[in-house]
Amino acid sequence: MRRHRQGDDLSAGVPAYIGLGSNLDGPSAQIQRAFTELDGLPCTRLQARSHLYKSRPLGPQQQPDYINAVAMLATGLEPLALLRALRKLEEAHGRRRSSEERWGARNLDLDILVYDDVQLDTPELMLPHPQMHLRSFVLYPLAELAPDLVIPGHGPVQALRAHCHTPPIERYEEIANE
Ligand code: A4P
Ligand code: MG
């Protein structure tokens, strides 16, 4: 997974957890590609990735099921620089925000769930992600990577997952030709 790139200061990296979601244009392939692309961001490496999970959409129901996963990064990018880099990846996957309804179908959604111990409350970036403790499609994959991680004000991921059943979720076994 690791590729050394000259000029990267990897020792300065902090842990950041990214939620990946897709329900259009071959969702599992979109997510797999995004893992590789995350590992290719400047000053960033992919430390770990969860399995893929499948769930019904939260929000408007007239859209395909979602595939979700979580990636753990070590990154030297500041939070806003990371957010902007994630937006570029979303756009490279063909995502066009202006044509989307809120919580509507998308090729790729990349949310920063947790960035080190940073807490932020601005319209552009909220950390930790404000809905993460309520969402099965975040908590199940995140619990694989960081069960003891404490979400400020809510508790450890593993305990939150044990009480979260919305939306119903299952591990997604990859099938060729999806
Ligand atoms: N923003 C603020 N904080 C953050 C953060 N921590 N990470 C801002 C990323 N973005 C953050 O996001 C809207 C705005 O949130 C951005 O301008 C950003 O600066 P967006 O990606 O443009 O739009 P969105 O993702 O449609 O909006 P929203 O409300 O964040 O949606 P969610 O919460 O991402 O939910 N059902 C299933 N089963 N699986 C899913 O993955 N996803 C959604 C979208 C709905 N239903 C789902 C799933
Ligand atoms: Mg988003």
Give the burial string for 84-114 (b: 16+ CB within 10 Å, else e).
ebbeebbeebebeeeeeeeeebbbbbbbbbb
State the Cα torsion 63-64-69-73 to the nearest 10°.
-60
Low-confidence ranges of the chain (pLDDT < 70): 1-12, 99-100, 174-178
Q: Is residue 153 part of a domain?
A: yes
Would you state the pLDDT for residue 7?
45
Would you state the pLDDT for residue 145?
98
Give the residue, by CA position, lying nearest to ligand 1 atom 46: 58
Residue 47: φ, ψ to 5°: -90, -40
Q: Is residue 141 part of a domain?
A: yes
Domain residue limits at 114: 14-171
Would you state the pLDDT for residue 173?
77
Would you state the pLDDT for residue 67?
98
Q: Which of 20, 103, 115, 126 to mutate to test the pocket of ligand 1 (most atoms within 8 A of CB)?
A: 103
Question: Within 13 A of 94's CA, how many CA atoms are on the CB side?
Answer: 10
What is the position in ligand 1's atom list of the atom closest to the CA of 124? 19
- What is residue 63's DSSP assignment? S
Would you state the pLDDT for residue 175?
56
Q: Is residue 4 part of a domain?
A: no
Count of structural domains, the chain: 1
Cβ neighbors of 131 (< 8 A, separation 6 or more) are 138
Q: Is residue 55 part of a domain?
A: yes
Would you state the pLDDT for residue 103?
77
- How many A from CA of 6 to the centre of ligand 2? 31
Q: Which of 111, 121, 127 to mutate to test the pocket of ligand 1 (most atoms within 8 A of CB)?
A: 111
CA distances to 18, 53, 120, 160 from 45, rounded to whole Å, are 12, 22, 23, 27
Q: Is residue 2 part of a domain?
A: no
- How many A from CA of 21 to the centre of ligand 1? 9
Q: Is residue 79 part of a domain?
A: yes
Angle at 22 between CA 21 and CA 25, to 5 degrees: 165
Would you state the pLDDT for residue 104?
76
For residue 33, what is the domain's CATH number? 3.30.70.560
Would you state the pLDDT for residue 100?
64
Q: Is residue 1 part of a domain?
A: no
- What is residue 143's DSSP assignment? H
48 Cβ inside 6 Å of ligand 1: no
pLDDT single digits (tens) 123-170: 999 999 999 999 999 999 999 999 999 999 999 999 999 999 999 999
Q: Is residue 7 part of a domain?
A: no
Cβ contact 57:137 at 8 Å: no
Cβ neighbors of 72 (< 8 A, separation 6 or more) are 15, 16, 17, 18, 46, 47, 48, 49, 145, 146
